[in-house]
Chain A
Amino acid sequence: MAKNNSMSKALVRRETIAGYAFMLPSLIFFLGFVIYPMVQCVFTSFFDATMNREDIFVGFANYIELFQDKVFLGSLKNTVIIVVVSVPVTCIFSLWVSSVIYDLAGPACSAFRCIFYLPVVTGSVAVAVVWKWMFNNYYGIFNYIGTNTGLIEKNINWLGDERFALGCIILILLTTSVGQPIVLYVSALNNVDQSLVEAAEVDGATKFQCFWKIKWSQIMPTTLYILVITTINSFQCFALIQLLTSGGPNHSTDTIMYYIYYNAFKLYRYGYGNAMGVVLAIIIAVLSALQFKMAESK
């Protein structure tokens, strides 16, 4: 018996070592490219750090400056607008599309999934170039259709007018954001226990009641995941801004991510940029925690 125990311990130890060995490459990657930069980011945020000069410890000065910086506060406001608009719209739109297409015949459902997923796998630069052409002030398709149908009197400078620029960015962001939630929702809806739905229908439940009382609760984990991922992606909106507006006009499309990039890579203010990064990370963490909490309470 004792012999068996020692053998099983050896086996467990060997399997444990093998398990850690398999994890090691990923662990090295995770420590090197996630944990270390995170620690470094927090550490550097307390310094006046720039290129080719010793860092100077400044305590919380970067954080104090942040909240006196009008451009940063404007960027924070723009980022919050993007999140507040795009997260619910993305979730509601993708849930609606998914509920319509999930029980279609295989090829039709796949075709829709492909169509909505295409902008996700298309490179940001290609997406930005096409949208820039469509929004063009002089010969863009939106102005062409708008003026020819009488919807608008004269051409609108969509990306060059601060009244419209942020809305245009949100619109583009939506097209690139809905693909993944649709695929996830289609999959989740297909996994809903059909016996429960059928039982409810036999008991006289309407389609809406079936959805709200049975399907919705079963796809809640997926919804939670989508909410968290979409929130994070919206907070990290950068490529579209960089490629289309550079934060303009008049800082109306500046986001925190773009302002971090501008300070860190254009002005070489690494400490200040890192302080913004820390603030952004805290906001995202708090919001994600709230979303988890709300989902748990339901």
Chain B
Amino acid sequence: MKKRKFMALALSCVMVCSLAACGSKDTGASQPAPAPAPAEKTDDSANNDNNADSQTPADTSADASQAADITLWTYPVGSWGDAATVSGMIANFNAVYPDIHVTVEYLDYTNGDDQINTAIEGNQAPDLVLEGPERLVANWGAKGLMVDLGDLWTDEAKSLIYDSVQSACQSNDGVFYEYPLCMTAHTMAINRDIFEAAGALQYLDEETGTWTTENFQKAVQAVYDYGQTNVGAVYCSGQGGDQGTRALVNNLYGGTFTNAEHTQYTADSEENIKALELLKSMDGINFDASIAGGDEVNMFCNGTFAMAFCWNATQEKNNADQGNINFDVLPMAFPTESGTPQLCGGIWGFGIFDNGDPAKIAAAKTFIDFMANDEKQAVESVKASNFWPVKDLGNIYDGDALMSEYAKFIPYMGDYYQVVSGWAEARTAWWNMLQQVGSGTDVKTAVEEFAATANAAASAQ
């Protein structure tokens, strides 16, 4: 009898434990930040003294005795998705602010939004998030979930940060929901070896990385005639890398995606219709509904395509580092009639979720200020992203041939229209529209349907 009682008790314990295990918070992906740096000087802390000296916190930042536990969720913005790199930067931060403990969770672009949305609904949103204005400003900011970062945007900050970035980081009514860290201009790229063999290099300006719409057509035809039947693909299986197809269509004849005020989708303009009709008619350009941007990049690297529309410096760096590229990559701006491309930009920075705790909000602002404004740390933070600073920090990539090569595209960065209302629905409608065009629907009909869907979504918000 005693044995049975003991067994029953043991089984009950097992069940209770398993239930508790099921209910515990999943912290598997979390990377706890290092403990606060010790007060006494070690070699590391000595190295970090420069950080402390150069610290120029904004007025709102608390002093070094500030104490709080905050969470940072970061999308894979270059090495901001790498635990070792981020831990190193947090160690720098803790050398100055030992009592602010930062726990990091690493997101990916496939599930990241769902993870954050689930956390928001469960009142477990992170304190800090690193991403772009389309999420921080146009999505969560517009829904009233984010903290106004106006106090970080001091007059000095406004005078230093580029105007286009400033405008992207605020809502239509002027509230700043993002403090930016880095930016890039998305380009396209060609397989220089194939273009050279096909005699197509004559149609582009290698030095400036630009070409005209007419020369783009000639170059694609030359490569196609050379025997490379898959020159490029207007990929449209999903939203991954869709900035490439938008930039391609908008640039060919000078179309735009939205109006200047970001209140209306203008993709149904004559210029865009003409561009889509041109692409549909070109030999070697496939409208492919089975691949997205990431697939296109892989197929460009493995030689299936001779050009990629989803490209930037990080793509080349990562693929070269992994040994995926065995040909000469030539980054190019998207072809235009005017000769002045308008590249789709990427801006990344920090936003703070309003979790109702002033101490955490203050600590999060201190963290942002340190990462983005500290003289030494800001350079390290930007370099970790493999992109460019949003203000003049000098030539941070001095001696880096790859980054120097891509720097020439930054002046071509166009309007950051991703903050337009109804963005999530419009993105989906865009690749659905490309699929329709690819399967033979009349371009004008498909584009008008897209504009109607997107504008309805914009006016519904």
Give A residues with C-beta under 8 Å from B: 18, 21-22, 25, 28-29, 51-53, 135-139, 157-162, 245-246, 248-251, 262, 265-268
What 12 additional pairs, Cβ within 8 angstroms, besides A25-B15, A53-B143, A266-B428? Answer: A18-B8, A25-B16, A25-B18, A52-B120, A136-B290, A157-B289, A159-B289, A160-B289, A161-B439, A245-B237, A249-B289, A249-B435
Return B118 CB to nearest CB of chain A, in Å: 9
Q: Show 19 A/B contacts (Cβ-Cβ < 8 Å), sorted by A.
A: A22-B11, A22-B15, A25-B16, A29-B22, A159-B237, A160-B289, A160-B438, A161-B439, A246-B238, A248-B236, A248-B289, A249-B435, A249-B438, A262-B428, A265-B114, A265-B117, A266-B113, A266-B424, A268-B117
Answer whether A250 and B436 are a contact pair too, CB < 8 Å, given A21-B12, A51-B121, A265-B117. Answer: yes
Give the chain B neighbours of A139 by CB distance below 8 A: 304
| Size category, B interface | 35 or more
Q: Complex: how many Å from CA A66 to CA B425?
A: 17
Q: Complex: how many Å from CA A25 to CA B13?
A: 11
Q: Mark B348-376, 1 if CB is under 8 A from A, else 0.
A: 00000000000000000000000000000
- Docked-complex contact B144 and A267, CB < 8 angstroms: no
- Docked-complex contact B432 and A138, CB < 8 angstroms: no
User: B330 on the interface (CB 8 Å rule)?
Assistant: no
Give the chain B neighbours of A160 by CB distance below 8 A: 237, 288-291, 438
Q: Mark B155-171, 1 if CB is under 8 A from A, else 0.
A: 00000000000000000
Nearest-neighbor residue (CB-CB) of A32 within chain B: B23
User: B29 on the interface (CB 8 Å rule)?
Assistant: no
Give the chain A neighbours of B39 by CB distance below 8 A: none
- Docked-complex contact B230 and A138, CB < 8 angstroms: yes
Give the chain B neighbours of A245 by CB distance below 8 A: 237, 290
Chain B CB within 10 A, most for which of A51, A53, A251, A265: A51
Return A214 CB to nearest CB of chain B, in Å: 42
Q: Complex: how many Å from CA A137 to CA B432?
A: 19
Give the chain A neighbours of B120 by CB distance below 8 A: 51-52
Give the chain A neighbours of B289 by CB distance below 8 A: 157, 159-161, 248-250
Nearest-neighbor residue (CB-CB) of A245 within chain B: B237
Give the chain B neighbours of A250 by CB distance below 8 A: 289, 432, 435-436, 439
Chain B CB within 10 A, most for which of A22, A158, A249, A267: A249
Q: Mark B1-33, 1 if CB is under 8 A from A, else 0.
A: 000000010011001101100100000000000
